[in-house]
Amino acid sequence: MKLSRNFLPTLREVPSDAVIVSHKLMLRAGMIRKLSNGLYTYLPIGLRSFRKVERIIREEMDAIGSLEFKPTVVVPGDLWKESGRWDSFGPDMLKARNRVDLDLVVSPTAEEAFTALIRDELASYRQLPLTVYQINTKYRDEIRPRYGVMRGREFTMKDAYSFNATPESLDATYHDMAGAYRRIFRRCGLSVLSVKADAGAMGGTGSEEFMVESTVGDNTLILCRSCDYAANVEKAACKGDWTEGKATAEKLATIDTPNVKTIEDLTAFLKTTPRAFIKTLIYRAVNVELDLSSAPGCAALKKTSSSPEAPATYAEALFAVCIRGDLDVNETKLAAVLKAREVSLASDSDVERITGAPVGFAGPVGLVSAPVVADESAMHIHDAVTGALKLDVHYTHVEPGRDFTPWMTTDVRTVKAGDRCPVCGGEFYEKKGNELGHIFKLGYKYTKSMHVSYLDENGKATVPLMGCYGIGVDRTLASAIEEHHDDDGIIWPMSLAPFQVAIVPVKFDGEMKEAALRIHDELERLGVEVLLDDRDERPGVKFKDIDLIGIPVRIVVGSKNLPANVELKLRNEKDARLVPVAEAAGEAKRIVDAALAALDALEALDAESSPPTGR
């Protein structure tokens, strides 16, 4: 292709709203342009690389037996009401109403759509296992879109859904999908880390994220120095760091603590450490799907539900959360155990209504107006100090189990660097990362609420299990740029480069034009994706543009080396070399093939190291 017939509006200056490398370079290289906040258009050269990511994903999905569908982006709101997520998904979901007054959703994810599609066609166990996928547009009304296509409002995702008859079959599909993901990211030239993760709004149990390290990552990763344990901080667990002591024989007592509200103030006032305190925080939870009918203080709460078929939910409930004084509550873990859409600290007025005291004096002893959720750390403190539900008063000699019994004991602790691995006891450290892919074992969350069934071997109606498997196409492309660049621009892996070879004649006339066209035509005949810079521009401008857009192989045709030779240079190497004109196309073809073969070799190595699934 000739560059003069392409559309390549490169920029010399970095746009002011671009912060991360991929956003800057995608704008400067003429790959994307911004239409509105969080909304980006791919220009021709960016779309070429985007399509290559799609092709790699599609090839690996097809290779493990997934079947591609093309659902609509706009889906009926009634499907979301069936699943129970019409009210619970939150403000990220863009809703609309058409001319006949039907509720619609601009799809933020596709569990409901695919469940409905399969429900209408599934009849027999012989159709299972079944894995279907799409590569399609999504919309989530992000409150703060940023970092270009890394976190936009409209984006493209591959999401797959499996329907399985047994847990063992679901495990096999999950394993196949994890292997396919590793191959996809290797073929895209990406170094990914697989971590345990929270299932979030998608629901389900088993969950694994595929992350790339990033200094501006949205996720904090917890990693063990001694073994392969890795988890998102939202999911990470740690080894208990308490010693088993004896219960105190001292009776519960009160102590005046005037103007002492914080753990730091209490530590100084009582001349002790934060580990001696049980910190109690009042949380507001929204759209809670737990049965709270017997929970303290919840008898009067009103249940809400979009339909009789959806799980009963409570629009809002308040909980007292207890944790050791030196630790922090992990709100994602808390939302997961409460089966809530989200949790946040309660308002001062709610705290006073629940505890009967100002903020700073909450405690679990005698609290009957809200369920008490205790972190495991709080239950291993003996002779503890807590708020006494009165202004300027605290309890001492508090003994968990004797002086209070929580409604629920669970893990809601935020794990941090320096904590110990629950697997091997090694020390944790932290990294920042961005999520590229996420796989879930959904179980029966959608198939039960949306009444999916099939006839098993005995003719009995049975509900299938589901899995969900997503990859962000835009994020994968941007992450490749984040990992492969230098001060001059992008350094594409051969598999994603918009063109594999660039031919740059110093001037596009005379013998330089003739040689450039001859090499261009030969490369096209060999099946190499080639871009010929035939513009009437200074050589320096051409070289800068080719380096900026990151084409892996550059052939420079100049009068000083003709008629015998041309200059060949790799984008990721400093020095160029001379090759005969007659051999230039063949040598470029050899380089392209070798680079692609190297990525395929990594893919094959990954496949060999992955045990068979037994499907």
For residue range 46-68, list pLDDT tens digits in order.
Answer: 999 999 999 999 999 999 999 99
Percentage of the chain with pLDDT > 90? 80
pLDDT of residue 14: 85
- How many CA within 13 A on the CB side of residue 397? 8
Q: Are 131 and 434 in contact (CB under 8 A)?
A: no
Name the residue among 82, 93, 84, 167 with its Cα closest to residue 119. 82
Cβ(350)–Cβ(318) under 8 Å? yes
pLDDT of residue 612 exceeding 60: no
Q: Is 3.40.50.800 the CATH number for 490-601?
A: yes
This prediction has a pTM of: 0.86
Q: What is the pLDDT of residue 601?
A: 76
Sequence letter at residue 372: V
* pLDDT at residue 203 in the model: 45
Q: Mean pLDDT for the chain? A: 92
Using one digit for the tens of pLDDT, what is the confidence trace for 304-346? 654 555 556 788 999 999 999 999 999 999 999 998 888 999 9
Residues in the chain: 615
**Does residue 153 register a pLDDT over 60?**
yes
Q: From CA 119, how far away is CA 121, in angstroms rounded?
A: 6
pLDDT for res 99: 96
Task: Name the β-bridge partners of 282.
Answer: 320
pLDDT at 196: 78
Q: Dump pLDDT digits (tens) for 519-578.
A: 999 999 999 999 999 999 999 999 999 999 999 999 999 999 999 999 999 999 999 999
pLDDT score of 6: 92
Which one is the CATH code of 253-410: 1.10.150.120, 3.90.960.10, 3.20.20.70, 3.20.20.20?
3.90.960.10
pLDDT at 613 over 50: no
Residue ranges of the domains in the chain?
47-236+429-482, 253-410, 490-601
The tokens describing 63, both together, are 């290779």
SS3 198: coil
The residue written with tokens 């569990």 in the block is 111
How confident is the model at residue 217, as a pLDDT?
83
User: Cis peptide before 129, with omega less than 30 degrees from 0?
Assistant: yes
Q: Say if domain 47-236+429-482 classifies as CATH 3.30.930.10.
A: yes
- Is the backbone peptide bond immediately before 274 cis, with ω within 30 degrees of 0? no
Q: Which residues contact 518 (CB under 8 A, 6 or more apart)?
A: 581
pLDDT per position as a tens digit, 396-420: 999 999 999 999 999 999 999 999 9
